[in-house]
Amino acid sequence: MKNAIQVHGLEKSYGSHIVLRGLDLQIETGEIFALLGVNGAGKTTTLECIEGLRKYDSGMVTVNGKMGIQLQSSSLPSYIKPMEAVKLFAKWNKAKIDFSMLDTLGIKEIERKQYIQLSTGQKRRLHLALALSGNPDIIFLDEPTAGLDVEGRLSLHDQIRKLKSQGKTIVLASHDMAEVEALSDRIAILNDGNIVFCGTALELTEKVGKKYIVHIKTQQGNNTFETDNIEDTLLSQLGELKHKGIGVLDIKVDRGTLEQHFIEMARRTEE
């Protein structure tokens, strides 16, 4: 299958400040792809170059499909009403209004309010509705759930998964590691103007989080240790506890969180 997005050798500076240093990226059709990076790493710049909203200095960007871009906050006139914005965007896109999509995004509930009166979550839902109004193949979401409560976040996650199930490609930039872990098929980490990792969360774990973290809860307290060799270490620890007659109440094994791996990856690339 053709890639939805192909980026090759993308370079972008703001004056003397180099932000992207020859970035390469392939985003597959139908995947949820997350772009991660610390503040100022260049995620928005990358997205905007791909979206065609920002000029880049050199490189090549190919997009196979119609794009839908979620607006940033306060991008609409203060007094516009949600349905007025929806109608305007439908007209621009020469598309029919998708009322069922508006229903699932809860636009009906806010139709009487003006843009300025909407909460952060309501604005984000409206922005997503507008991004979807032209029935795009590729949807760009920059920090889609920042400032949302748990319920709002989960409902937006459901929406994003639904879009994927319809065969759409989703590209998101986010700081929320739990969100990225829960949603994305693949992750790219942007550091110092380049992609320093691109793959699945599991591949990132394999790459940086080789160690297992074992938590053993016993009658005498908790013991947490790291190991590369889970079988031998666990067997010897359990053997020792049995030998001492200490009862084991619980055992948990994990391989660290995406957040820990992201920090580790950033640390390694800075060394």
Q: What DSSP state is assigned to residue 83?
A: H
- In the chain, the N- to C-terminal Cα span, in Å, equals 37
Question: Taking CB under 6 A as the criterion, which residues in 25-64 touch ligand ATP?
Answer: 37, 39-45
The 133-172 site mask, x for binding ligand ATP (CB under 6 A), equals ----------------------------------------
Helix (H) or strand (E) run with residue 23 in it: strand 17-28
Q: How far apart are CA 83 and CA 110, in angstroms?
A: 9
The 86-115 site mask, x for binding ligand ATP (CB under 6 A), equals ------------------------------
270 touching ligand ATP, by CB under 6 A? no
The closest alpha carbon to 23, from 214, 210, 195, belongs to: 195
70 touching ligand ATP, by CB under 6 A? no
Amino acid at site 173: A
Question: Taking CB under 6 A as the criterion, which residues in 204-263 touch ligand ATP?
Answer: none
125 touching ligand ATP, by CB under 6 A? no
Amino acid at site 31: E
| Shortest distance in whole angstroms from residue 35 CB to ligand ATP | 8
Q: Which is nearer to ligand ATP, 33 or 89 (CB)?
A: 33
Q: Which is nearer to ligand ATP, 40 or 239 (CB)?
A: 40
Q: How far apart are CA 196 and CA 184, in angstroms?
A: 17
| Interface size with ligand ATP, residues (CB under 6 A) | 10
Largest CA-CA distance found in the chain, in angstroms, rounded: 76
Q: Which is nearer to ligand ATP, 4 or 23 (CB)?
A: 23
16 touching ligand ATP, by CB under 6 A? no
Q: Which is nearer to ligand ATP, 44 or 237 (CB)?
A: 44
Q: How far apart are CA 71 and CA 89, in angstroms?
A: 12
Helix (H) or strand (E) run with residue 174 in it: none
76 touching ligand ATP, by CB under 6 A? no
- β-sheet bridge partners, residue 186: 33
HSE-up (13 A, CA, CB side) for residue 43: 21
Q: Which is nearer to ligand ATP, 46 or 155 (CB)?
A: 46
7 touching ligand ATP, by CB under 6 A? no
Helix (H) or strand (E) run with residue 198 in it: strand 194-199
82 touching ligand ATP, by CB under 6 A? no
Task: Tell me which residues touch ligand ATP (CB under 6 A).
Answer: 14, 19, 37, 39-45
